[in-house]
């Protein structure tokens, strides 16, 4: 199963693609989509186009997107939500199932602690995907989201097979 993890952000959206076979993981690619400057609608369109290009290049089977946490800045949270909508729309339009994970769930799955910091997440991504050096913290987070989904989906599949 090829999984893309997406860490939505208005300035830059991190993405990471992993190949999962059982518990074995292999990194395929990772990076960030940048929106640049300008009107909000134009920036969202840039994110959409960049993510579509990533999907076309890497042909994932499943997608996982980090859920938004609400902070004190309501306007910032709303803009992040709009970038997140783009991250949900691209895989949906490609006919790919989309899972959503809370930030703490991703950290717990990858690091073992739900309140791990970005450095800890990046370190564990490097440990789980030898040879990978994430380009940015957003790309590391996206790879962590993909890992979380690969393991979660794999476990769900094994449970379903056992029940049958």
Superfamily of domain 2-163: Ribonuclease H-like superfamily/Ribonuclease H (3.30.420.10)
Q: Residue 164: its pLDDT value, please?
A: 54
From the list 7, 52, 73, 100, the catalytic residue is 7
How buried is 65 (Cβ within 10 angstroms: 0-12 exposed, 13-18 middle, 19+ buried)?
Answer: buried
Quick check: is 119 catalytic?
no
> In the numeric block, which tokens belong to residue 10?
């208005």
**19 marked as part of a ligand binding site:** no
Please check the confidence at residue 146 and state whether its pLDDT lies above 60. yes
Task: Report d(CA 69, CA 77) in Å as an integer.
Answer: 8
Quick check: is 66 catalytic?
yes
Model confidence over 50-99: pLDDT tens digits? 999 999 999 999 999 999 876 778 888 888 899 999 999 999 999 999 99
**141 marked as part of a ligand binding site:** no
Going by pLDDT thresholds of 50, 70 and 90, the confidence category of residue 36 is: very high
Quick check: is 7 catalytic?
yes
**119 marked as part of a ligand binding site:** no
Nearest to 153 by CA among 24, 43, 20: 20
Q: Residue 159: its pLDDT value, please?
A: 44
Q: Residue 154: its pLDDT value, please?
A: 62
Q: Residue 69: its pLDDT value, please?
A: 72
Element (H, E) at 125: helix 118-128
Residue that wins the pLDDT comparison between 69 and 31: 31
Angle between helices 137-163 and 103-110 (to 10 degrees): 80
Going by pLDDT thresholds of 50, 70 and 90, the confidence category of residue 158 is: very low
Model confidence over 91-142: pLDDT tens digits? 999 999 999 999 999 999 999 988 899 999 999 999 999 999 998 999 999 9
> In the numeric block, which tokens belong to residue 116?
């791990």
> In the numeric block, which tokens belong to residue 64?
């996982």
pTM, to two decimals: 0.91
Task: Report d(CA 141, CA 164) in Å as an integer.
Answer: 35
From the list 37, 59, 66, 141, the catalytic residue is 66
């Amino acid at each position: 199963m090829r999984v893309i993890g997406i860490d939505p952000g208005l300035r830059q959206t991190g993405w990471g693609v992993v190949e999962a076979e059982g518990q074995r993981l292999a990194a395929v690619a990772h990076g960030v989509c940048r929106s640049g400057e300008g009107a909000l609608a134009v920036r969202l369109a840039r994110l959409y186009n960049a993510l579509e290009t990533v999907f076309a290049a890497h042909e994932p089977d499943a997608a996982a997107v980090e859920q938004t946490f609400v902070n004190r800045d309501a306007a910032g949270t709303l803009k992040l939500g709009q970038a997140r909508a783009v991250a949900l729309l691209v895989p949906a339009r490609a006919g790919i199932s989309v899972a959503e994970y809370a930030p703490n769930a991703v950290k717990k799955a990858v690091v073992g602690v739900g309140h791990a910091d970005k450095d800890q997440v990046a370190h564990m991504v490097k440990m789980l995907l030898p040879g990978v050096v994430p380009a940015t913290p957003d790309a590391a987070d996206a790879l962590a989201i993909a890992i979380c989904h690969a393991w979660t989906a794999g476990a769900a599949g094994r449970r379903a097979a056992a029940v049958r």
